[in-house]
Amino acid sequence: MYVVQQYIPSVTLSADSVEVGDPLLVYVSAQTGDSLFSRNSVLAFQLTGSGDEHALLHSLSDSSPESSNDTAIVVESMPLDEGVWNVSGILLVDSTHIPLREPLSQLVVRVMDVDTTQSMQDIHKPYDGEFNLLHYWPEGLAVLGALALVVGAIVFARKRAQEPQNEISTPPVDPAAKVLERLNSVKERDLARTASSKTFFSEVSFALREYIEAVFDIPALEQTTDELKHAVQYHPAFTETVFQQLAELGMLADAVKFAKHETTAEQNIKQLQAAYSIAIALQEYVQRQNSQEDKHA
């Protein structure tokens, strides 16, 4: 009796795909355990499937138990038909076949129709005539012209970047002239008599607040009337008269805006005259300050 403890077959192929009918190299290796062979025994393999059977060559012959752990590589060259092929082991003892049923490996063979004629064709036919550069002179001129345009554009852009730009500088607007211009516009359009109280006080108040913010660096356009009064109360430019006029104008503007109060034309004319007085008084203070700075300079 012959005792079989272990053998592990492993199958690899020489290529993933071959032409139909061409032989495929099948590499079979076996890792064997103890007590697989006796004297004069041989381990072989057979390839079965699709109703056919092929015996593979073997190389473990006359193996003894002491050398039973060696790995053998067995190679066979043969054409394989489409289908599933099983690789199983056979123990040959004195010319007697003893099938080793487990374990086994499988090979799956598929036949695929692949048209390779297109990949073998030339994309362009070979040029049979002599190569002549003059034949391509129109294309050459077009390329040279395009290159010249690109180079010219780059050179022009660099020259423009290096040239000093003659920017038209807008002279700064004089706040004093601007506030008088706005007040004159209110007077010329006779808004004190023809416009609503809200429109009249909105334009007059905006003209004064814009001037105060530009000259004295006070955020008058964003402040409430009380905040503006608090900001200018101790400023030397806002004398008691200027402060009272500004406070009265702001109080009426708030009453018109928030309480829907309607003022008379006479009240509007009085507040427009007060706005002129406030603007002129503040401008005179700024002029005095500038004159003193010029003297110290």
Residues 190 and 289 in one domain: yes
Separation CA 279–CA 246 (nearest Å): 10
pLDDT at position 129 is 55
pLDDT at position 157 is 83
Residue 154 lies in a domain: no
Quote the Cα angle for 40-104-50, to 5°: 105
Query: Which of residues 109, 134, 167 is at a domain's end?
Result: 109
Q: Indicate the number of domains in the chain.
A: 2
Only one residue has tokens 């004629």, namely 117
Residues 179 and 95 in one domain: no
Tens place of pLDDT for every residue, the chain, 297 residues? Answer: 344 445 666 667 666 676 666 666 666 666 655 555 544 556 666 666 654 555 444 434 333 333 344 444 444 445 566 777 676 767 666 556 666 655 566 667 676 665 555 544 555 555 555 656 666 677 777 888 888 888 888 988 887 777 665 555 566 789 999 999 999 999 999 999 999 999 999 999 999 999 999 999 999 999 999 999 999 999 999 999 999 999 999 999 999 999 999 999 999 999 999 999 999 999 999 999 999 888 887
Residues 16 and 95 in one domain: yes
Query: Which of residues 109, 132, 165 is at a domain's end?
Result: 109
Enclosing domain of residue 284 = 175-296
pLDDT at position 24 is 62
Q: How many residues does the chain have?
A: 297
Residue 41 lies in a domain: yes
Residue 253 lies in a domain: yes
Residues 190 and 80 in one domain: no
Query: Which of residues 58, 78, 109 is at a domain's end?
Result: 109
Separation CA 286–CA 297 (nearest Å): 16
CATH code at position 247: 1.20.120
> Would you give the DSSP letter of residue 126?
P
Residue 92 lies in a domain: yes
pLDDT at position 109 is 66
